């Protein structure tokens, strides 16, 4: 987590990258065809590629060693050009005001050859930036240094004029195109690369070394350093660290998967800078944006000032955060760096992120969209993970997020409960194309949609807030009243979801034994009978209470007992606290025992949700039986699509109609374990459905874990 040692692998084909072939072939295909992928082009056939390993090791906090190893995996000699590059983020082109102030800190940064420190065996790039200080990049045995400006080539892209002769693609034009005039012969600029040309025999490997260090002391001659010795030391430290957090009962392959997955999380950190107000108004050195932008998406988020290192879904394909993705990221991050995980969760609740009305920003394209409210769940999980790992419970962190989440809970209740009847619409809720309609837009049919998952998420949110309040009440009984509030709100939501309301709305379908969304249209209520993850999410709303929790909170216990005694009409269809279970525990759950059994028949059926690799997001039943909804001549269909999406919703590059989604599987496993804490050995189900093999819910959860892990483990 200190990033003292980092390593990644890049597979680089030896033939020209097949851009045209990929474009032309995919242009011939439609949504019913599979995508023509890079491997399909044959470019990696006969192992005609390089493995390029990039490693970083810190000699000190401001002294980073870089090692790049290229391996020719083919059977013939091949040449590779390596171009480790350093550049400054371009802020001078679009914000000239920052560079008008005559001060050392505001001078335009510059990269240049340090001829004094360059020798026959190494070349040094001087890095001067008034804001961060001066650094040096020492490039051992580089063939040459190449310099240009980190500025857009307006002539190439727009047909306009360039401000600089040496634009950001100059290094590429020099190396790939042989254009000597594309780089600055004076060896200065804002982007620079060390050029290495390596000829590798079949299966040969070669390494190059660089060193990025602060030159605070500015020595006349760089002190020699044994780079390989430092690399070996940092590797040993990394091995020791991961050994300390890896369970002993994992085998070698499982330990490797765990370590690489955590490394992937750490590699996915990114500096993210997006000031919404500036984007809406445009940059002073460029033409004003269309006036429609000021009333378009994100116009209500002018307070949002993104200027942080944030965990990204994927720095290559999805280099922006999404609120619920980030919440899930924090669970594994807490295993390696709980402080960073806590800062991420607090960050989204700070006043320059959270909307003044209490909404958490959803994602870059549309901050006003709605992600599932999992922030409280993630915060409490991170709190408990850290307490278990370190023996120290960070109460201050928990209080901090709890108070801000009260605002978020209020926003949900005020904005997403259409008629104040504790049944929630929600909208998009992160599940992209899972529904019959695009849930982030107005319904094409008119009317409104009451969502099974929207209401279930809110029931889960209530229980998460209840659990946090009870934890805080252990040391401050002020929180007992707040705990009572969330207990009662959970009961109201559960009653509304499980029972016929004043409009004869019922999200639970007694005949099918499943939860569905309900469309309200022209005074009618139409259940949309799609067996999807939407109908499984009610299982997430479960909390098992230890017996001493109630005994140690007398005010909370007294209030709940009064409520249960005086409002029995609200608790008939839910698993509530009246009856003790295993270990004298109590349970609060949206789904009672009977409905749990019925849902699990679908969940654990290999013809429905259960796959060899986890729980599907849409039942396989819909492969042969697509759900069709016809209205006014318009045809809407949901069918089982386990691979690529055949719809254009959300760009067509996301699919909830069949694939296994790990975060949802994680929540399902956790929920099954909570149910088992209460029901114990007395509650067994068939796994798989129809097999005759009976298992406890804990055993089922373990089987699901194994299926998920099979995706990554060796066969």
Q: What is the pLDDT of residues 586-626, one digit of tens each?
A: 899 999 999 999 999 999 999 999 999 999 999 999 999 99
Q: Lowest-confidence range among 58-62, 388-392, 450-454, 683-687?
A: 450-454
Predicted local distance difference test score (pLDDT) of residue 633: 76
pLDDT greater than 50 at residue 568: yes
Q: How confident is the model at residue 581 (pLDDT cuts 50, 70, 90)?
A: confident
Residue 310 main-chain phi, psi, to 5 deg = -130, 145
Cα separation, 124 vs 222, in Å, equals 10
Q: How many CB atoms lie within 10 A of CB 173?
A: 19
Once rounded to an integer, what is the mean pLDDT over residues 115-120?
A: 82
Q: What is the mean pLDDT of the chain?
A: 90
Once rounded to an integer, what is the mean pLDDT over residues 463-468?
A: 98
For the chain, how far is it from start to end, CA to CA, in angstroms? Answer: 31
Predicted local distance difference test score (pLDDT) of residue 517: 84
Cα separation, 235 vs 241, in Å, equals 10
**Strand ranges in 441-503 using DSSP code E only, listed in sequence order:** 448-450
Domain locations along the chain: 5-245, 417-661
Q: How confident is the model at residue 428 (pLDDT cuts 50, 70, 90)?
A: very low
Q: How confident is the model at residue 117 (pLDDT cuts 50, 70, 90)?
A: confident
Better pLDDT: 275 or 119: 275
Q: How confident is the model at residue 425 (pLDDT cuts 50, 70, 90)?
A: low
DSSP 292-320: GGGGSTTTT-TT-EEEEEEE-SBTTTB-S
Better pLDDT: 645 or 119: 119
Of residues 514, 652, 690, 651, the one with CA closest to residue 596: 514
- CB contact at 8 A, 556 and 550: yes
pLDDT greater than 80 at residue 430: no
DSSP helix, strand, coil percent of the chain (3-state; round to 5): 40, 20, 40
Instruction: Tell me the per-residue pLDDT of 7-55, one tens digit each, with 9 for 90 and over.
Output: 999 999 999 999 999 999 999 998 788 889 999 999 999 999 999 999 9
316-322-324 Cα angle (round to 5): 130
Predicted local distance difference test score (pLDDT) of residue 256: 97
**Strand ranges in 540-646 using DSSP code E only, listed in sequence order:** 542-545, 586-589, 610-611, 614-615, 627-631, 634-638
Instruction: Tell me the per-residue pLDDT of 184-223, one tens digit each, with 9 for 90 and over.
Output: 999 999 999 999 999 999 999 999 999 999 976 555 455 5
Q: How many CA atoms lie within 13 A of 540 on its CB side?
A: 27
Report the share of the chain in percent with pLDDT over 70. Answer: 90
- CB contact at 8 A, 123 and 139: yes
Better pLDDT: 58 or 521: 58
């Amino acid at each position: 987590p200190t990033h003292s040692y980092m390593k990644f692998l890049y597979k680089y084909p030896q033939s020209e990258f097949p851009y045209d072939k990929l474009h032309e072939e995919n242009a011939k295909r439609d949504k019913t065809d599979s995508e023509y992928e890079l491997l399909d082009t044959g470019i990696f056939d006969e192992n005609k590629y390089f493995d390029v390993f990039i490693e970083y090791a810190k000699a000190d906090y401001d002294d980073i060693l870089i090692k790049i190893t290229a391996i020719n995996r083919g059977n013939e000699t091949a040449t590779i050009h390596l171009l480790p590059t350093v550049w400054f983020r371009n802020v001078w082109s679009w914000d000239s005001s920052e560079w008008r102030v005559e001060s050392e800190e505001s001078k335009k940064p510059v990269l240049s050859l340090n001829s004094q420190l360059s020798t026959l065996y190494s070349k040094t790039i001087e890095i001067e930036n008034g804001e961060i200080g001066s650094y040096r990049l020492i490039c051992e045995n580089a063939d040459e240094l190449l310099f240009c400006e980190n500025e857009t080539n307006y002539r190439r892209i727009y047909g306009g004029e360039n401000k600089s002769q040496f634009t950001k693609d100059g290094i590429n034009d020099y190396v790939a195109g042989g254009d000597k005039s594309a780089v600055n012969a004076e060896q200065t600029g804002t982007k620079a690369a060390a050029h290495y040309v390596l000829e590798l025999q079949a299966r040969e490997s070669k390494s190059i070394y660089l060193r990025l260090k602060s030159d605070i002391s500015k020595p006349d001659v760089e002190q020699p350093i044994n780079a390989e010795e430092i690399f070996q030391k940092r590797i040993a430290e990394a091995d020791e660290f991961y050994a300390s957090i890896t369970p002993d009962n994992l085998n070698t392959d499982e330990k490797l998967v765990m370590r690489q997955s955590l490394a992937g999380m750490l590699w996915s950190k990114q500096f993210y800078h997006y000031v919404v107000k500036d984007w809406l108004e445009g940059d002073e050195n460029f033409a004003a944006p269309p006036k429609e932008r000021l009333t378009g998406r994100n116009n209500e988020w002018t307070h949002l000032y993104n200027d942080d290192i944030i965990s990204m879904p994927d720095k290559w394909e999805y280099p922006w955060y999404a609120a619920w993705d980030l919440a899930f990221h924090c669970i594994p991050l807490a295993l390696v760096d709980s402080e960073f995980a806590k800062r991420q969760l607090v960050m989204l609740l700070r006043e320059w992120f959270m909307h003044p009305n209490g909404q958490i920003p959803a994602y870059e394209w549309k901050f006003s969209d709605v992600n599932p409210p999992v922030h409280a769940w993630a915060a409490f999980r991170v709190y408990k993970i850290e307490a278990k790992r370190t023996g120290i419970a960070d109460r201050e962190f928990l209080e901090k997020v709890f108070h801000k989440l009260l605002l978020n809970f209020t926003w949900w209740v005020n904005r997403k409960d259409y008629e104040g009847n504790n049944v929630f619409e929600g909208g998009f809720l992160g599940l992209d194309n899972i529904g019959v309609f695009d849930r982030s837009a107005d319904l094409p049919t008119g009317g409104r949609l009451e969502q099974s998952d929207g209401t279930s998420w809110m029931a889960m949110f209530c229980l998460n807030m209840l659990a946090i309040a009870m934890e805080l009440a252990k040391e401050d009984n002020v929180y007992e009243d707040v705990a009572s509030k969330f207990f009662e709100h959970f009961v109201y939501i559960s009653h509304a979801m499980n029972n016929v309301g004043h409009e004869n709305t019922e999200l639970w379908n007694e005949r099918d034994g499943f939860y569905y969304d309900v469309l309200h249209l022209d005074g009618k209520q139409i259940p949309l009978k799609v067996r999807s993850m939407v109908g499984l999410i009610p299982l997430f709303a479960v909390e098992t209470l230890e017996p001493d929790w109630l005994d140690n909170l007398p005010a909370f216990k007294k209030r709940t007992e009064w409520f249960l005694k005086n409002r029995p009409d609200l608790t008939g269809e839910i698993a509530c606290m009246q009856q003790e279970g295993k270990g004298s525990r109590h349970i609060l759950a949206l789904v009672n025992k009977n409905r749990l059994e019925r849902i699990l028949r679908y969940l654990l059926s290999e013809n429905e949700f259960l796959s060899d690799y986890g729980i599907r997001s849409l039942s396989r039943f819909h492969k042969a039986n697509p759900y069709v909804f016809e209205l006014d001549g318009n045809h809407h269909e949901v069918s089982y699509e386990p691979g690529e999406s055949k719809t254009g919703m959300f760009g067509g590059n996301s699919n909830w109609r069949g694939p296994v989604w790990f975060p949802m599987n994680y929540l399902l496993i956790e929920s099954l374990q909570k149910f088992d804490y209460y029901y114990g050995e007395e509650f067994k189900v068939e796994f798989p459905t129809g097999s005759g093999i009976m298992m406890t819910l804990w055993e089922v959860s373990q089987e699901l874990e194994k299926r998920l892990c099979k995706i990554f483990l060796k066969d």
